[in-house]
Structure 1
Amino acid sequence: MVVGFVGGVLWVIFRPEPDVWTDDAYVRVHYATIAPRVSGHVAAVPVDDDDVVRAGDVLAQLDSHDFETAVAAAEAQVERDQAQSGDIGANIERQPALIDQAAAEVDAARARLAFAEADARRYDNLAATGAGTGQQRQQSDTTLKAAQAALRGAQAQLEANRRQLEVLKKQKSASDATTKGDQARLEQAKLNLGYTRILAPIDGMVGQRSVQVGNVVSPGATLMTVVPLREVYINANYREVDLIHMRTGQPVTIHVDAYDITLRGRVNAIPAASGASFAPIAPNNATGNFTKIVQRLPVRVDLEPDQPLAKLLRVGLSVETTVHTGLEDVVAEQAHDRRAVTGR
């Protein structure tokens, strides 16, 4: 009888336990920190702590007058750029006609030069025979030189008009680039104006409001937080020796101390590292006497849907969790499975 009693006690103490329990568990959530993207004077704060907001609701309004002025100035600059670009474009369209006109002037100068050359030869012949006067010969030579100069001038004007077309095209490219740059600045000015309305990025409850009307805020300064209570989960800190039969997807019973209620959940995944691994001051056991301490890993437990009582949960509440492992042989399963059976 004594042996049987001792054996029963030892069985109760050392038998494998399919349900793994811990009270080192808390409600957690990934909340959104609300901060402005531009600096400015706070004109209105229509929400307060614990208000329920929807995505897109206005959480704070900055004074927008300076930003409206910036938008108006940027619009005026873009309009001026577009007018300059249009003027250059009109000159480009007109330039071929000027080139044709200069080409016609070259043709006319060539015709006058041909006549002047023929006239000069005629007076040269007359002078050789004594029929012409010296004055007429000098006049014909002068007319010939003037015609030659006029041809060179017309040709130079034609070349200048052709080169001017290239110059105008370059100016048009530069003007278009300037317009694009000013349009980008206009878009940024409009974005900055839109940033004066600070909106809720997600559905949730407002918390940690620290902003008041009249404050001057800067980019990145925390104004409040929005906590998505529908997305809460449980961080259950289990000892590493409790993970031998634990894997992703196992059912979890969650007892909430605050309301004395029980909820259902599922193991999301076994974490990549223990809590101590991410501590600001990591433990260092490389020197001195060493005492082995069993580590704890924050196992994430997701709540199952369609549980009305889950709406009572608040971030930071302590809970008790029991993972029903069914004594699954995780080691043997992982040995024959290429996937990570303890991860997603």
Structure 2
Amino acid sequence: MLKSFRSATTLVATSIGAIGVVLVLYAWRLPPFDSSVQSTDNAYVRGQVTLVSPQLAGYVGEVAVQDFQHVKAGQILVKLDDRIFAQKLEQAEATLAGQQAALANSEQKRRSDEARITSSQAQVDSAQAALKAAEASWKRIEPLLERGVTTQSQADQARAALDQSTASLHQAQAALEVSRQDLASTLVSRQSLEAAVQGAQAAVRLAEIDLQNTRIVAPEDGKLGEVGARVGQYVAAGTQLLALVPERIWVIANFKETQLAGMEAGQPVTFTVDALQHAQLNGHIERFSPAAGLEFSVIRTDNATGNFTKVAQRVPVRIAIDPDQALAEHLSPGMSVVVSVDTKARGI
């Protein structure tokens, strides 16, 4: 009887030990339970959450949306009080009008200077003609004076007329040079006025941009998170008013480095979603992280500071969600998923 009891006890212990070994082999995917399918529950749905903030400081005048609302690109989300910015735009436009008037006046002065140059040139031509006449008269009278045919008084008058014509020519030439310098000065000042007009135009554009920025719009289609803006609230530039979650989503699966052998971009992927009662969806590997997640941590570990225990690192793998899946519309960033990849499958 005792022998039979001991035999039964030994059989039970042996069976329990065998079952334990089998469980260990299965848990560690060791032969004969090794598989080409690699899975991880360290995986989540990801998306680009955009924090919407104003570029200006001011008071919130209107909040046009509500929590979790679906919005379209360009739809108004929040309006700031725009009275000050509207007045700044009018002020900039008035300054621009003044600068444009000054530039137009400079253009009129340029034309006046050009006309004055033409008039001065005519005076020079007239003085040159008078000088030629005076020189001709003197050349006729001078020989007659030497022969005593004409009087000294007539010779003096001819000489005086020659000297006066010479002086008149010099005066006309000087007036012409003054007119040319006036035109040059006008042209130089015109460049300054043109620069002032360009600066005023830039100021108008900046004022227009500021006025437009009082209307905070959705940068793209998506759903809103909680709306933190309140009417009458004073906000500074960069204050977080709300968050926008675009419709583009994907999955990030953090596989152990020992699981990556055989994985390649394009391989089909299946994943189950905890929030959808473990419903299965399909996707494919899009790309691999260039480094393990530890390399991107703020505080990196130093394995040379003491005793070392080897820990398998995890490498993020980006997985694209295949289109035309009805359940994919219910996915949201942050949801937990379980990802499985058959490393023997060929990439797309």
TM-score of the pair, normalised by structure 2: 0.82
- Identify the residue that residue 160 of structure 1 maps to in structure 2: 178
| Matched pairs, number | 324
SS class of match (1:258): helix
CA distance in 2, matches of 1:255, 1:231: 19
Matched, 1:325 2:343: yes
- Deviation, 1:131, is 6.8
Matched, 1:181 2:199: yes
Q: In 1, distance between residues paired with 2:335 and 2:133?
A: 109
Tell me the CA shift for residue 130 of structure 1.
Answer: 10
Say if 2:100 is the partner of 1:82: yes
Distance 1:22 1:148, change over 3 A: same
Partner of 2:47: 29
Deviation string, structure 1 residues 6-36 (Cα, Å, up to 9, x no partner): 9x95697424312111111112111212111
How do 1:331-342 residues align onto structure 2 when only pairs under 5 Å count? none
Residue of structure 2 aligned with 1:243, choices 238, 257, 260: 260
Instruction: Check 1:128–1:68 CA distance in 2 against 1; reply closer, same or farther (3 A cut).
Output: farther
2:35 and 2:47 map into 1 onto residues whose CA distance is 30
1:185 and 1:59 mapped to 2: Cα distance? 27
SS for the counterpart of 1:212 is: coil
Change (3 A) 1:246 1:130: closer
Counterparts of 1:260-275 in structure 2 under 5 Å? 260=277, 261-275=279-293
Deviation at 1:44, TM superposition (A): 0.9
The answer on whether the counterparts of 2:64 and 2:78 sit within 8 Å (CA) in structure 1 is yes
1:44 aligned onto 2:62 = yes
How far has the Cα of 1:176 moved from its partner? 1.8
> Which residue of the other structure, out of 116, 119, 124, is the alignment partner of 1:101?
119
Kept after mapping to 2: 8 A contact 1:123/1:132: no
AA paired with 1:288?
Answer: G
The alignment partner of 2:275 has SS state of coil
- Does residue 204 in structure 1 map to residue 222 in structure 2? yes
Secondary structure of 2:276's partner? coil
Structure ID, larger Rg: 2
Q: Are the equivalent residues in 1 in contact too, given 2:261–2:343 (CA < 8 A)?
A: no
Deviates more, 1:8-17 or 1:257-266: 8-17
Match of 2:294 in 1: 276
Measured in 1, the distance between the counterparts of 2:343 and 2:70 equals: 38
TM-superposed CA distance for 1:290, in Å, is 1.1
Unaligned runs of 5+ in 2: 1-13
Decide which moves more: 35-44 or 91-100. Answer: 91-100
**Partner SS state of residue 210, structure 1:** coil
- Residue 56 (structure 1) shift: 0.7
Contact 2:268 2:345 in 1 (8 A): no
User: Aligned to 1:236, what secondary structure does the other structure show?
Assistant: strand
Q: TM-score, normalised by structure 1?
A: 0.83
> Which deviations, in whole Å up to 9, do the C-alpha atoms of 1:144-172 show, x marking residues without a partner?
54433322111101112223333222222
The answer as to 2:258 corresponding to 1:258 is: no
User: Which residue is equivalent to 2:76?
Assistant: 58
What code does the residue aligned with 1:234 have?
A: V
